Amino acid sequence: MHKEAAKFTKAFKERLDAATDEKVRIVIKEQYKDAFDILSDCENAGLIPGIIGPPGIGKTLLLRAYAEKSRREFHWVTGDEGVRPSHLIGSFNPALVLDKGFSLDSFEPGTLLKSMVLGGVFGLNEANRLPEYVQNSLLEPFEELSVNVQRLGRVKASDGFFPVLTLNPEEMAGAHRLSEALRDRIRVWIRLGYPRKETEMEIVRVNCPEYTISDDTLEKIYSLVSSTRMTTDIEIPASIRAGISVARLAAEMTKRQKEKSTSHQTLSKAASYVLSGALRFRPGIDPQPAVDALIRRSLGTGRKA
C-alpha cells in the first residue's frame, strides 16, 4: 500500500509540473486580439468585464492566455444549478473543526477566495446559469474586492486579483438572465462571435500540431461545422471545439488506415462520431439521421455502417 501511495505521489507531482509547463494554444488576432486588449484596459481601469459568446469559441481559453501572459494563476468555476456560495468562498471541514476549532487550519477555501488571496485571474464561466442567490454572493467581491468569511473575518483581495465573467447568449437553452444587482457590477461587455473562416481554420490547425492537415480538409471541416450554425433545426450548433475534434479524429483515422490523405469516407465517419453528440436538435428530430443528412449535404458523402 505504501509503494502504491508513493508511486501515485511521484506521478501526481510530475503531472503538476506538466500542467505548469503547458502553454495555451490560441490564435490572438481579430476579435480575440481586440478582446485581449480590452481585458487589459479593464483591469488597468478597475472595471470588471463580461464576455458574451456561444459555447466553444474560446472564452475560457482567452482568459487562460491572459493569465499566462501576466504570469498569474488562473482559477475558474463553471456555473450551474449545483454551485453554492461555499464552492466560491469556502467552508469549514467539520472533522478538522473538532480538532482545531473554527480556525484557518480547518477552513477549506473556495476557488474565488483562492484567487482573491493569491492575486490571480478568476473566470466565472456561464455565470448566467447560477441561481440568483449565488450570483448575489458575488456582489461584495466584485464591488468592494473583499469578502467576509464567517468566523475568520473580512478579507481584502490582492492587487493582482482580476475577476471576469463569461456568459452564453440569453437566447441559448439553459441560459438565464443575470440578477440586476450582479449585472450592475459588470461594467464592460465584450461580445465574441464565431471567427472568420480563415481564423477558425487557423485555430483548428494550431490545435492539431501532431498532424499534417491539408487546406482542402480544413475547408471541408469548416464548411460542415459552419453549416450547423445556419439551420433552425439545430438549437446548439457545432463549436470550434467540434471542428478541432473532427480534424483530430479524421487525421488519426487516416494515419491508422495508412491513407495518403483523408478521404471523404474517413472525414464523414469522423464527423458523424463527433457531431452526433456535439449538436442539439430541436425536440422531435432524430439526431443521427439528421447528422448524416447534414454530412451528405456538406461533404457529398454519408456515414457508412
CB 112 within 8 A of CB 158: no
CA angle 97–122–36, rounded 5-degree value: 170
What's the CA gap between 2 and 212, in Å, rounded? Answer: 45
Question: Which residues lie across from 90 on neighbouring strands?
Answer: 109
- Residue type for position 65: A
Superfamily per CATH, domain 197-299: Magnesium chelatase subunit I, C-Terminal domain (1.10.8.80)
Q: Can you give the pLDDT at residue 2?
A: 76
Cell of residue 292, nine digits: 448524416
| Dist. CA 102–CA 84, nearest whole Å | 20
Q: What is the location of CATH 1.10.8.80 in the chain?
A: 197-299
Neighbouring CB atoms inside 10 A of 163's CB total 24
Tell me the three-class secondary structure of the chain, residue by residue: CHHHHHHHHHHHHHHHHHHHHCCCCCCCCCHHHHHHHHHHHHHHHCCCEEEECCCCCCHHHHHHHHHHHCCCCEEEEECCCCCCHHHHHEEECHHHHHHHCCCHHHEEECHHHHHHHHCCEEEEECHHHCCHHHHHCCHHHHHCCEEEECCCEEEECCCCCEEEEEECCCCCCCCCCCCHHHHHHCCEEEECCCCCHHHHHHHHHHCCCCCCCCHHHHHHHHHHHHHHHHCCCEEECCCHHHHHHHHHHHHHHHHHCCCCCCCHHHHHHHHHHHHHHHCEECCCCCHHHHHHHHHHHHHCCCCCC
pLDDT at 171: 52
Euclidean distance between CA atoms 305 and 206, whole angstroms: 31
Long-range contacts of 98-107 (CB under 8 A, 24+ apart): 102/151, 102/152, 104/152, 107/149, 107/152
Q: Block means of pLDDT (10 residues each) for the chain, length 305 residues?
A: 82 84 86 97 97 93 95 93 94 93 94 96 92 92 94 95 90 65 93 96 96 96 96 92 97 95 95 95 93 92 43
Segments of the chain assigned to CATH 3.40.50.300: 19-191
In this structure, is the dihedral angle defined by the CA atoms of residues 51, 53, 55 and 59, taken in order, positive or negative? negative
CATH code 3.90.1150.10 for 19-191:
no
pLDDT given at position 57 = 93
pTM exceeds 0.85, yes or no: yes
Query: What gap in Å lies between CA 225 and CA 222, rounded to an integer?
Result: 5
